Amino acid sequence: MKKLSLSTAVIAVVLAFSIPSANAVGKGESAPAGQSAETVTAFINHIDHKEGKLYLTVDDIQWFEGAAANEAFLENEPYSGMDGAPDGYYIVNSDNQTRAVEIDPDAQVEMQIYDQDGVLEDLQPVFNQAIPLEKFNAIFGDKHIVDLSGFPYHLTIKDGKVVRIVQQYIP
């Protein structure tokens, strides 16, 4: 499954900082955007400028949490020797097809964890932190501290345009 595993560096960083934030995760502060017919979950492969518009190239996935994650995990990994999804979530990416989706210039962006100051030791989750679309566009390709393409995003799409981007925190 494409991108099911994050790079070793990202995993180490996220795990190193998830211990102090475990209670926040348990309180639902990092819960994904409400799923609806307008919301899809995807990996963002890259951001492009075309004809004066901004586009995301996305790879749609299925994101499961809690009991649904355990059920999907056991269905897809019956010989794992485990009785449920590790860390309480499970990703299914049944194909590697990508598609381009236009971003509304007024789209809202909420991040859970990203490089805010270029210092690895300062990398801490701040749940649902709103940042301007311009900042997201600027930091997305910077892989110096954390690779943002390794996280799933919940995308709200209205009238064919992404109006909300919410990074999914991965414990």
At position 77, the amino acid (one-letter code) is: E
Decide if 47 is inside a domain: yes
Q: How confident is the model at residue 24 (pLDDT cuts 50, 70, 90)?
A: very low
Decide if 109 is inside a domain: yes
Say if CB 157 and CB 100 are below 8 A apart: no
Q: How confident is the model at residue 35 (pLDDT cuts 50, 70, 90)?
A: low
**What is the value of pTM for the model shown?**
0.79
Look up the domain containing 152 and give its range: 8-61+97-167
Residue with tokens 């749609």: 60
Please say if the pLDDT value at position 22 is more than 50: no
Displacement of CA 92 from its chain's centroid (Å): 13
Which tokens go with 6?
């994050």
- What mean pLDDT comes out for the span 157-168? 97
Q: Other C-beta atoms within 10 Å of 136: how many?
A: 22
Decide if 138 is inside a domain: yes
Decide if 148 is inside a domain: yes
Decide if 77 is inside a domain: no
Q: How confident is the model at residue 116 (pLDDT cuts 50, 70, 90)?
A: confident
Say if CB 149 and CB 140 are below 8 A apart: yes
Task: List pLDDT tens digits, range 43-79.
Answer: 999 999 999 999 999 999 999 999 999 999 999 999 9
The predicted pLDDT at position 34 comes to: 53
Please say if the pLDDT value at position 36 is more than 90: no
Decide if 120 is inside a domain: yes
**More confident: 111 or 3:** 111
Decide if 21 is inside a domain: yes
The predicted pLDDT at position 18 comes to: 36
Decide if 18 is inside a domain: yes
Tell me the torsion sign for CA atoms 119, 111, 5, 82: positive
Cβ within 8 Å of residue 20, ≥6 positions away? 124
- What mean pLDDT comes out for the span 89-117? 95
What is the tally of structural domains in the chain? 1
d(CA 153, CA 134): 17
